[in-house]
Amino acid sequence: MNVDKGYVEAPIEPGIDLVEEIKRLKREKNAVILGHYYQRDEIQAISDFVGDSLALAQYAAKTDADIIVSCGVNFMGETAKILSPDKKVLVPDLNAGCSLADSCDPVEFKKFIDANPGHVVISYANTTAEVKALTDVIVTSSNATRIVESFPKDQPIIFGPDRNLGNYINSLTGRNMKLWNGACMVHEKFSVAKLVGLKKQYPQAEVLAHPECKKNLLILADKIGSTKALLDYAIASPCKQFIVVTESGILYEMRRACPDKEFIPAPADDSTCACNECAYMRLNTLEKLYLCLKYEQPEIKISRELCERAVRPINRMLELSKK
């Protein structure tokens, strides 16, 4: 067995039922599997809990499992580790990064903060532990507007790393937050022309969009929100057709929760297929999940000192999200 490539490489016993084996290992080891809505269908199906970034963090903060297996991207595993430093936090593949987190180098971000004294620093959860440690309060797309609004109107704010989410919050709140120039390469790729075409093809459909999309797409949306907010909207809406402008993994839960409704994925600019997938999220597979539980590797490791600095802005978010 080796983990040199960032995931366990080992033979899998021929003929075993991976789903049953994962369930058995989970019970034996008192492990919990947390899955994001962008995970492959079969991973969502076997997860103990599926949620958006905020819900996954909230779950990780309160679980009494000995092992957390974070099926998402690395910042989600890191958040779980920061909140539960004494637990073992495993990920099926350490290569599951995030283009938004990568767009914010901690050394450069520190320079940006130093160049703007007197600013409160608000960072999106899609950041590394080092960036979180430089931050006053973390937000996710489900609580960002509320948390920004909790500061006085005249409080100068730095917001990073997603410029699209930052611009969207500025437009909603009338603030003028200073924005880090980062973006998600998946959400930036959605095509306005193809979305307009879909709207013509499905004139009754409502458009659901994630705030990581560019403004020219967001202005075409009926609902803008986190993955969970989009799902809840689709469940509650009387409409029967939805065009979904976010990573297409969410369609699994939307179709499961609303079998009588139709969900149409919006395509990317450059794609020849009909949807838009996050290549990082798709790195996790049932095979890697099985091997990760079996060998308890790869594990998220963060120094105790960094956990202590990074947990403060996350706890502040969790506190502000309760109210």
CA gap 207, 290 in Å, rounded: 37
For the segment 207-246, give every residue that binds ligand 13P (CB under 6 A). 210, 212, 226-227
Between 278 and 317, name the residue whose CB sits nearer to ligand SF4: 278
Binding marks (x or -) toward ligand SF4, 211..230, rule CB under 6 A? -x------------------
Q: Does 278 bind ligand SF4 (CB under 6 A)?
A: yes
Between 26 and 40, name the residue whose CB sits nearer to ligand SF4: 40
Q: Does 58 bind ligand 13P (CB under 6 A)?
A: no
Between 249 and 298, name the residue whose CB sits nearer to ligand 13P: 249
Name the binder of 127 from ligand SF4, ligand 13P, none, CB < 5-8 A by kind.
Answer: none
Name the binder of 53 from ligand SF4, ligand 13P, none, CB < 5-8 A by kind.
Answer: ligand 13P
Binding marks (x or -) toward ligand 13P, 118..147, rule CB under 6 A? --------x-------------xx------
Closest distance to ligand SF4 from the beta carbon of 249 (Å): 9
Three-state helix/strand/coil letters over the chain: CECCCCCCECCCCCCCCHHHHHHHHHHHHCEEEEEECCCCHHHHHHCCEEECHHHHHHHHHHCCCCEEEEECCHHHHHHHHHHCCCCEEECCCCCCCCHHHHCCCHHHHHHHHHCCCCCEEEEECCCCHHHHHCCCEEECCCCHHHHHHCCCCCCCEEEECEHHHHHHHHHHHCCCCEECCECCCCHHHECHHHHHHHHHHCCCCEEEECCCCCHHHHCCCCEECCHHHHHHHHHHCCCCEEEEECCCCHHHHHHHHCCCCEEEECCECCCCCCCCCCCCHHHCCHHHHHHHHHHCCCECCCCHHHHHHHHHHHHHHHHHHHC
Name the binder of 140 from ligand SF4, ligand 13P, none, CB < 5-8 A by kind.
Answer: ligand 13P
Q: Does 100 bind ligand SF4 (CB under 6 A)?
A: yes
For the segment 23-52, give every residue that binds ligand 13P (CB under 6 A). 52
Name the binder of 99 from ligand 13P, ligand SF4, none, CB < 5-8 A by kind.
Answer: ligand SF4
CA gap 250, 230 in Å, rounded: 9
Closest distance to ligand SF4 from the beta carbon of 217 (Å): 14
Q: How many chain residues are in contact with ligand SF4, going by CB under 6 A?
A: 13
The residue ranges that bind ligand 13P (CB under 6 A) are: 52-53, 126, 140-141, 184, 210, 212, 226-227
Give the interface with ligand SF4 as residue ranges (CB under 6 A). 73, 98-100, 126, 184, 186-187, 212, 247, 278, 280-281
